[in-house]
């Protein structure tokens, strides 16, 4: 009997291990490209949504997908649109599904990689721990944004790089293309409640400030990190919903309610099933931290 139990335990362990391994290596949805406006495309699948802008002599890509095969697909899809090379990549934040796929781009491309200073810091911190969430050091951002708004023109394409406050992460960077009335927002905007990464010093209060600035811009198209391309009205509604929900949570905190009680009052399950903490959980932690 002991030997039979040992064999059963070994079988279960192997199944669990290889099941986890298979899940970790499962392919991501393939990259698909859609035209948004003249010279502007969105690339969905393969991680966070990417924005592609074809400039005078080269291509600008916002966000570089998740893993090497996804980045390779992105590169190949750009090649189907134009024979102009990719020369500029902009990171909206440091999450792996937006930065790690650059390893799939051909080596030696001499890319200008633009990111907020906190984004670079988060990538460097991950690399110091082994780099499971980041591309290798040769893909570190090499053009750093430090101001709340920085205007620049690359290959004839005007843009404003915006970092209003810590929001989804500490290094969020929205890219506003005024001539196209388009904003690449990364994971700042999505369907449902905002996602706040407290472990990357994100902030629901900062999110409201940041998104308030984005909806005030003259834009009609919002490329969202993990949702269909949105409109200004959708962004306004997301902002209004977040302001109202944060206000309710703040009121309940002042009443001395526990997190479970707040979730119940908001009609949310006490035990969250998602990969990350919910907006209610992160906002509660923000409002109650000592």
Instruction: Give 22-72 pLDDT, tens digit per residue.
Output: 334 455 689 999 999 999 999 999 999 999 999 999 999 999 999 999 999
What's the pTM value of the predicted model, to 2 decimals? 0.89
> How sure is the predictor about 6, in pLDDT bands with cuts at 50, 70 and 90?
very low
Give the percent of the chain with pLDDT over 90: 86
CB-based contact 188:174 (threshold 8 Å)? yes
- Residue 6 domain-assigned? no
- Residue 76 domain-assigned? yes
Compute the 3-state secondary structure of the chain and give helix, strand, coil in percent, each to the nearest 5. Answer: 40, 20, 40
- Residue 279 domain-assigned? no
pLDDT mean across residues, the chain: 91
CATH number, domain containing residue 220: 3.60.15.10
- Residue 97 domain-assigned? yes
- Residue 115 domain-assigned? yes
- Residue 18 domain-assigned? no
- The reported pLDDT for the residue numbered 92 is 98
Tell me which residue range forms the domain holding 191: 28-231
Assess whether pLDDT exceeds 60 at residue 7.
no
The alpha carbon dihedral of 277, 279, 283, 286 has a sign of positive
- Residue 107 domain-assigned? yes
Rounded to 5 degrees, φ, ψ at 130 are 125, -15
| Number of structural domains in the chain | 1
Contacts of 207 (CB under 8 A, 6+ apart): 165, 167, 168, 188, 194, 196, 242
- Residue 236 domain-assigned? no
Give the percent of the chain with pLDDT over 70: 90
Q: What value does the mean pLDDT take over residues 260-266?
A: 97
**Per-residue pLDDT tens over the stretch 176-210:** 999 999 999 999 999 999 999 999 999 999 999 99
Assess whether pLDDT exceeds 90 at residue 144.
yes
């Amino acid at each position: 009997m002991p030997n039979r139990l040992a064999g059963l335990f070994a079988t279960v362990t192997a199944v669990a291990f290889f099941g986890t391994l298979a899940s970790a290596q499962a392919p991501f949805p393939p990259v698909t490209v859609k035209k948004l406006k003249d010279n502007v495309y969105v690339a969905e699948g393969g991680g966070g949504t990417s924005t592609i802008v074809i400039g005078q002599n080269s291509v600008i890509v916002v966000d570089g997908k998740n893993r090497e095969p996804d980045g390779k697909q992105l590169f190949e899809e750009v090649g189907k649109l134009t024979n102009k090379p990719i020369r500029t990549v902009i990171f909206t934040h440091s999450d792996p599904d937006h930065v790690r796929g650059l390893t799939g781009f051909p080596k030696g491309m001499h890319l200008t990689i633009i990111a907020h200073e906190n984004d670079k810091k988060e990538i460097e911190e991950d690399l110091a721990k082994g780099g499971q969430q980041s591309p290798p050091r040769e893909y570190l951002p090499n053009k750093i944004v430090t101001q709340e708004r920085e205007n620049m023109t690359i290959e004839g394409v005007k843009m404003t790089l915006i970092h209003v406050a810590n929001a989804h992460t500490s290094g969020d960077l929205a890219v506003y293309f005024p001539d196209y009335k388009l904003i690449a927002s990364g994971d700042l905007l999505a369907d449902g409640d905002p996602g706040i990464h407290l472990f990357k010093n994100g902030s629901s209060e900062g999110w409201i400030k940041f998104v308030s600035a984005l909806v005030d811009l003259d834009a009609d198209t919002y490329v969202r990190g993990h949702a269909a391309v949105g409109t200004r009205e959708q962004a306004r509604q997301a902002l209004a919903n977040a302001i109202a929900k944060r206000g309710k949570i703040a009121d309940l905190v002042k009443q001395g309610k526990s997190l479970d009680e707040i979730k119940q009052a908001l009609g949310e399950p006490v035990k969250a099933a998602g990969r990350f903490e919910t907006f209610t959980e992160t906002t509660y932690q923000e409002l109650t931290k000592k």
